[in-house]
Structure 1
């Protein structure tokens, strides 16, 4: 597509965009009486306008039904998660039985590692990307120590080649193969939070399985962002938060995926709780844990109704959008336009003032661009915020822009680029 760096062109693209009306389903933060150009959906998604209504209904149920709300009303809490499962499954390419909303991301990661990290004296190593989100690093360090191993020996981190910002798939698969004899687990992010690189998840999964290892993913920056096919790719397990691209609110409910291949493994360890017990006989209150079939059997505590209600509000908008295929189509166009606009800014200035470190290949990125600004990058970020453009700052020098296709527009992209150019011309940076 041949882009143009004009307001009229951006508005024309918005007029042709079938998803553009969904922008009206969200509330935008404001500053000095003006809405932000919000490019931070990769950190915290916007609030759906329907969130208060959906949450209000559950508050009414609590008020009017109290404890009977677990079994009475339009959405009995006992079964509330099941409607969410039907809406979640298309977002990650799973069967409804393979997913479950519960807990928060790192809690879920620990629970899944209890089941899927089963080291012995021969196969105990874990491969992950260097520069993974810190919570993953901390979780793996503590799990390794819990099993009596030294993280320095047990955890292998794969870093980009010197002078590069992203990983090469051939390096990942090679290192997996080289460590096959001692490898117990491959755990990668679906998308690296810092660089915005979308890893080749099918290739990593195949390489891990060929090495005799379990393969799992942290999909915090991938779920609701890029099209996933966890079931078809034979991924063993995954977990994610829902407050980024899936707009469930700060600290919103987490979610898990467990491939159905593991459902029949009655020897699998798990930290059990009441809500994972077989639903049909749960209230007999008997000893001896019998798991509910599927991912639901990994539940520990009872349904978190209010966080699930907020997530439900957003999932209904995903359903209205047609789930991931149309969202991905728009996302590719939005991000490509942002790349073009930044290139135009650099060309006008006459230097690469803004260097994009996210992969140029559209199949290796989602709705995020990570940008290094020359000079005082934090000053650039602060000036953007002062002028109602809100991205995300990451130390030491990266500005992340995350145009979310549910609510961002091409005009947002144009105006963000216009401001970058203005700041550069004013030598504000």
Structure 2
């Protein structure tokens, strides 16, 4: 049986109302209605707002380190002080650029990367992603034109055209670091160039990344800016049009002062409720595998699964599509107990290393914050590029104190979680026939050390 529903475009008896929705006049009923809409709006807008806040901090804020259509390069791997977004990887150097795509193409030039892993993730305003990588276009030096969906020009033979969905796009470049060869990676970063793009101009209000998670007014100012800059997919109109009751989609920028007290109070409450929901839902990211791990699905391609999309971006912005980087995460051990250093040590063993054509790594994060754990050996991940061993079976020891094991991954005394990333995953990983083993804990694990 096909999907439920039918096309109404050619049915004359289905009207198209241009009127505003009815708002309940009674304050209690109005508050209940606005709280329901506010929850939906917060969940829908979370990826776009978090991205807008990053753009704001990086290129719009007075004194910001970057500018539009120019790459801002991280020169060292992420550490505990990294706060651009949660759950960063530590295997690559990040570079990112924000581009305002206009009527004319934006040209991206890449050098030859050889066998080194790289990807330029092209992210639209609502976190949908495509990749320019060895997997999709090869690793040779190349030119790419980033153009809007309706662009109808002609490109030179040596240019690859990449169509992007929204006016504001985020380019997230990752280049693998091998044996600490930062100088080589820096040279590659500096050879990546951008040319073109619409003028930055007044792109909207300046907001902070922390502010939009704490202040409902900052969140909705950012959401209003996103809508004005990028609009939204036409097939989501039936969902988004109801947000007009919140003061959005109007002829002038959203203004909290224009809301009546019942509406403002209800929006504030619904925003707080949504933030609590997102925080509590982080461990549910993906589908359970039966081994304590969840496999993160639909990364960068959530479609209309708005809650999953919001949770994914609340855990960490810029998640790559599964074909480029398949991810698993776990907050629990083999018995279902939450991972915590005070209950360790813990052991994670792979009888056979994760199938890949690039590399894999396991990274450890604080459960509450999603940040990396500061530790005396400055080690935040272990994987195929950093394990002590011959590339066969892999055994990682997770412990707060040094256990004297070769492959020690330090963890905090409190709760933590793990992300397994498999870059350029093997077909059995993509198909779901390969799964990571559960994490073992406590005395049973310690006996093996």
Higher helix share: 1
Tell me the TM-score range normalised by the shorter chain: under 0.3
Of the two structures, which has the highest relative contact order with CA contacts closer than 8 Å and spacing of 6 or more? 1
TM-score of the superposed pair, with normalisation by structure 2: 0.26
